[in-house]
Amino acid sequence: MTDFSRLGVVAIRDGVAKGDFKAVEVAEALNARVSAAKALNAFIVETPEKAIEAAQAVDADRAAGKPLGKMAGVPIGMKDLFCTEGVQTTAASHILEGFVPTYESTVSANLWKAGAGMLGKLNLDQFAMGSSNETSYFGNVISPWRRNDGSTAALAPGGSSGGSSSAIAARLCPAATGTDTGGSIRQPAAFVGISGIKPTYGRCSRWGVVAFASSLDQAGPMARDVRDCAIMLEAMAGFDPKDSTSLDLPVPAWEAGLNSDLKGKRIGIPKEYRLDGIDEDIAKMWDNGISWLKDAGAEIVDISLPHTQYALPAYYIIAPAEASSNLARYDGVRFGLRDLPEGAGLQDMYAATRAAGFGEEVRRRIMIGTYVLSAGFYDAYYTQAQKVRALIARDFENAWASCDLILAPTAPSAAFGLGEKNADPLSMYLNDVFAVPASLAGLPAMSVPGGLSKDGLPLGLQIIGKALDEQSVLNAGLAIEQRSGFTAEAGEWW
């Protein structure tokens, strides 16, 4: 009997299409795995009936000889930042606990249209703010990975798409949606040894996705290999007139365009990413990545992205500024939590509701954002950060004169233990140091497994591409995947 948990998107889609098995069998098997993996806390809500329903529709379509979608029969996890009609959507916050949208986000709707089914809503950092999934109101997600020293210490699955990364690595689902504002797809993918791509800003509609920082938020797929990411991205992307920042461009056939022959491609290695005191394992993995791409026919060039060191501070001004405004709508008036103390007026209700409804990290970022937009500070912080953002984008523009893609580590370290970094927000923020520049520039960027650390934990290689050139990014990812020989898996301890 087929172990459906071992099948990726391609295998399930093709198996269902060929009639090797029924979509319902896959859905049932994965529903059972989800249900048995509560220890990971990857899901906030499980929706086995949704998975079955979608699978039945696909099986019926196949029986009727109708054409099947790109994701037909593939059950996936949906990050709980995407609004799903009739299914609670919380952004992992208390303030939205119990909120059931009457509408479906464009990206999730696109996936259902492509024949995917929903196993459940995945846990995440609250309002996507975090790098370890520890800010969720519904408890942190635990990575299925453990260090190879026999320790049972719980490790962070990365964040903010930590439910997604954990569930895929634990083979609860073959793929899941993520969103990436400053690394929230790539860093968790790197932490658990899977692939994930953040496409060019504007490729995936933001309509119906709970907003964190509008000018940075971008949805993307997470899966166990590059081809699966390509397929799922095709299903997710596309112009949406309901999102003014959506790109009015056709969706390329990324899967069909996959080609790991990199002859003629120049790969830039940014010297500024080689930080002093860089982790040895990370440096070694990066070097391996360089030799794999060389082997695939690419030319390696040294490049400079001179404003890299300012990216993180600029990000931590722009993202909280936008968030402070985006989250103003959670006020207890129309939906979600309302805390109305006896005899309270409107202002008291706002204060009580928001104090009770937002977690510490969210409150911190609202405070930072409010501060940097305040009269007298706006120019010194927000305006300055926007200038830095423009310079970062120009760094990349200049780099494209001498290279087609950039290779760098995804994160500066392997997964850390839960609780290790949450006392010091700055050290947590530093985990995004390599991911943030591509976010600020709106560029497509992907993480693929690059090897294991000394502790036996996955490390990720990041490929950054030119705007709209997801194809080259995917191709380089495929070239690495074919050479890295990464087959490590988390043991099933739960």
Q: CB of residue 168 vs other proteins: minimum separation in angstroms?
A: 23
Active site residue 160: yes
Q: Residue 487, interface with other proteins (CB under 8 A)?
A: no
Q: Residue 304, interface with other proteins (CB under 8 A)?
A: no
Q: Residue 382, interface with other proteins (CB under 8 A)?
A: yes
Q: Residue 334, interface with other proteins (CB under 8 A)?
A: yes
Active site residue 79: yes
Q: Residue 241, interface with other proteins (CB under 8 A)?
A: yes
The CA dihedral of 306, 368, 164, 476, to the nearest 10 degrees, is -10
Residues 101-120 that bind other proteins (CB under 8 A): 101-103, 105
> Cβ-count burial of 291 within 10 angstroms (0-12 exposed, 13-18 middle, 19+ buried)?
exposed
Q: Residue 239, interface with other proteins (CB under 8 A)?
A: no
Q: Which of 31, 41, 47, 89 binds other proteins (CB under 8 A)?
A: 89
Q: Which of 243, 339, 455, 489 binds other proteins (CB under 8 A)?
A: 243
Q: Residue 321, interface with other proteins (CB under 8 A)?
A: yes
Selecting among 160, 165, 205, 453, the annotated active-site residue is 160
Q: Residue 314, interface with other proteins (CB under 8 A)?
A: no
Tell me the sheet residues that pair with 77: 120, 176
Among 151-159, 228-236, 257-265, 329-337, the segment contacting other proteins (CB under 8 A) = 329-337
Selecting among 22, 70, 79, 121, the annotated active-site residue is 79
Nearer to other proteins, 148 or 215 (CB): 215
Nearer to other proteins, 325 or 484 (CB): 325
In DSSP notation, 17-49 reads HHTSS-HHHHHHHHHHHHHHTGGG--EEEE-HH
Residue carrying structure tokens 């103390």 = 341
Q: Which of 373, 390, 468, 488 binds other proteins (CB under 8 A)?
A: 373
Q: Residue 73, interface with other proteins (CB under 8 A)?
A: no
Residues 203-222 that bind other proteins (CB under 8 A): 206-211, 213-215
Among 111-119, 185-193, 326-334, 467-475, the segment contacting other proteins (CB under 8 A) = 326-334
- Determine which helix (DSSP H) or strand (DSSP E) holds 479, and give its type and residue range: helix 470-484
Residues in Cβ contact with 488 at an 8 Å cutoff, skipping those fewer than 6 apart: 193, 449, 452, 456, 458
User: Are 178 and 164 spatial neighbours (Cβ–Cβ below 8 Å)?
Assistant: yes
Residues in Cβ contact with 490 at an 8 Å cutoff, skipping those fewer than 6 apart: 143, 144, 145, 146, 169, 170, 192, 193
Active site residue 184: yes
Residues 146-205 that bind other proteins (CB under 8 A): none
What does the block give as tokens for 110? 């696109």
| CA nearest to 358, candidates 92, 179, 161 | 92
Looking at residue 229, its amino acid is C
Q: Which of 71, 91, 111, 114 binds other proteins (CB under 8 A)?
A: 91
| CA nearest to 308, candidates 204, 439, 178 | 439
Q: CB of residue 340 vs other proteins: minimum separation in angstroms?
A: 10
Q: Residue 324, interface with other proteins (CB under 8 A)?
A: yes
Among 33-41, 53-61, 346-354, 454-462, the segment contacting other proteins (CB under 8 A) = 346-354
Q: Beta strand pairing status for 458-465 and 75-79?
A: unpaired
Residues in Cβ contact with 430 at an 8 Å cutoff, skipping those fewer than 6 apart: 312, 412
Q: Residue 87, interface with other proteins (CB under 8 A)?
A: no
Q: Residue 88, interface with other proteins (CB under 8 A)?
A: no
Among 91-99, 260-268, 295-303, 393-401, the segment contacting other proteins (CB under 8 A) = 91-99
Among 30-38, 82-90, 135-143, 478-486, the segment contacting other proteins (CB under 8 A) = 82-90
Q: Residue 291, interface with other proteins (CB under 8 A)?
A: no
What does the block give as tokens for 443? 């560029």
In DSSP notation, 57-92 reads HHHHHHHTTPPP-TTTT-EEEEETTB-BTTB---TT
User: Are 286 and 407 spatial neighbours (Cβ–Cβ below 8 Å)?
Assistant: yes
User: Are 211 and 105 spatial neighbours (Cβ–Cβ below 8 Å)?
Assistant: no
Nearer to other proteins, 211 or 226 (CB): 211
Cis preceding linkage at 244, omega within 30: no
Give the Cα separation of 354 and 332 in Å (integer): 8
What does the block give as tokens for 492? 């099933």
Nearer to other proteins, 177 or 324 (CB): 324
Among 59-67, 167-175, 327-335, 413-421, the segment contacting other proteins (CB under 8 A) = 327-335
User: Are 297 and 261 spatial neighbours (Cβ–Cβ below 8 Å)?
Assistant: yes
Nearer to other proteins, 309 or 374 (CB): 374
Q: Residue 249, interface with other proteins (CB under 8 A)?
A: no
Nearer to other proteins, 281 or 322 (CB): 322
Strand segments (E) across 309-399: none
Q: Residue 374, interface with other proteins (CB under 8 A)?
A: yes
Selecting among 131, 143, 165, 184, the annotated active-site residue is 184
Catalytic residues: 79, 160, 184
Q: Which positions lie near other proteins, rule CB under 8 A?
A: 82-83, 89, 91, 96, 99, 101-103, 105, 206-211, 213-215, 241-245, 321-322, 324-325, 327-329, 331, 333-335, 346-347, 350, 370, 373-375, 378, 382
